[in-house]
Amino acid sequence: MALVEPVPGEPAATATLGDERALVVADYHAGIEAGLRYEQGISLDSRAGERRDRMKSLVERTDPDRVVVLGDLMHSIAGPGGAERGEIEVLLESIDRPVTLVKGNHDGDIESWVDCTVTPGDGIRLGDVGFVHGHTWPNGDVLSADVVCVGHEHPCVRLEDSVGGSRIERVWLRGTVNPDAFEEQYGADGADGADGGAEMSNDGRLVVFPAFNDLTGGTWVNVAGQDFLAPFLPDGLTDGEAYLLDGTRLGRYDAI
C-alpha cells in the first residue's frame, strides 16, 4: 500500500505514519482575499467559511488521527490581520484532531499564537514520510524518508483544446527524489540534517502537492519559461509526472 494516497477529486492526501493516519493539505492561505485586495486591487468576498467547511468535510471523509498542513496556513507573511487570525483560530477549533503545521514562508511567527504543533521550516519526518513546505532545503531526516511531501509550488498545467481555448488545472507532481540535486547543498554522502545527518534514500518518492486554496495561482509546470519556486525543483524530481485532482494521469509534466 502506498504511504501517501491522494483523496480523489481533492487537493489533499492521506498518509500512513506508522501507527497513525494523517490528512495532508498544503497552502491553505487563510485571509488571501485581503491580500489580493491589497496586492492586486482584486476585491473578493471572504471565502473563509467555504474553506473551513471543505476542510471539515475532508476530516469527516478520511477520519485521520491527525491533520498535517504543509505550510502557508497564513497568507499575509508579515502578520495576520484580525480577520485572518480569526479564520485560523476558528478553523483549528473546528478540527477535532491534532494539527501539525510544517512552517512555510507565509507563516511568520505563527508559532507564538497558534494552537497547534509548528515545526521548523526545514520540515519533519513522521514515520516513513517526510514533510517540508518547500521554500527552503529540507533537513536530512526528511530526505531519508521513503516519501517526501512538498508544498509551496502550487503546481498547475495549462491545457489547450483543438480550437485554441485553454484552462488552468491544479495538479499533483509525483516522481523519484534525485539525490544529485541535493549534492551541492549537502555533500555526496547524503543530506546533512540538523540531527547530524541522515543517509538520503536512493529510491525515495517525491510528491508535490497542489494548493488547497484555489485562489493562489501557481507554477505552470508545462509552460516554457516558468521558473519553479523551491530551490531543489525541478532538479530534485526525476521522471516527474502530473496528475489532475480527479486522478487522471497526464504523463511527464514537461511534455504535456
DSSP-assigned states of every residue in 174-217: EEEE-THHHHHHH-TT-B--TTS-BPPPSS-EEEEPPPSSTTS-
The pLDDT score that the predictor gives to residue 31 is 76
The pLDDT value given to residue 170: 95
C-alpha cell at 61: 471523509
The residue segments making up the domain with residue 218 are: 4-255
- Please return the burial class of 122, using the count of CB atoms within 10 Å of its CB with bins 0-12, 13-18 and 19+: buried
> Of 188, 180, 195, 213, which Cα lies nearest the Cα of 91?
213
Helix, strand, coil content of the chain in percent (nearest 5): 20, 30, 50
Instruction: Report the pLDDT value the prediction gives residue 166, as an integer from 0 to 100.
Output: 80
Q: Whole-angstrom Cα distance, residue 244 to residue 242? A: 7
Domain total in the chain:
1
Provide the pLDDT confidence category of residue 194 given band limits of 50, 70 and 90: very low
Q: Tens of pLDDT along 83-140?
A: 778 899 999 999 999 999 999 998 989 999 999 999 999 999 999 999 999 999 999 9
- The backbone torsions φ and ψ at residue 97, rounded to the nearest 5 degrees and listed phi first, read -135, 160
Q: What is the DSSP string of 120-138?
A: -TT-EEETTEEEE-SSSPP
**What does the pLDDT read at residue 203?**
75
Contact between 132 and 123 under an 8 Å Cβ cutoff? The reply is yes
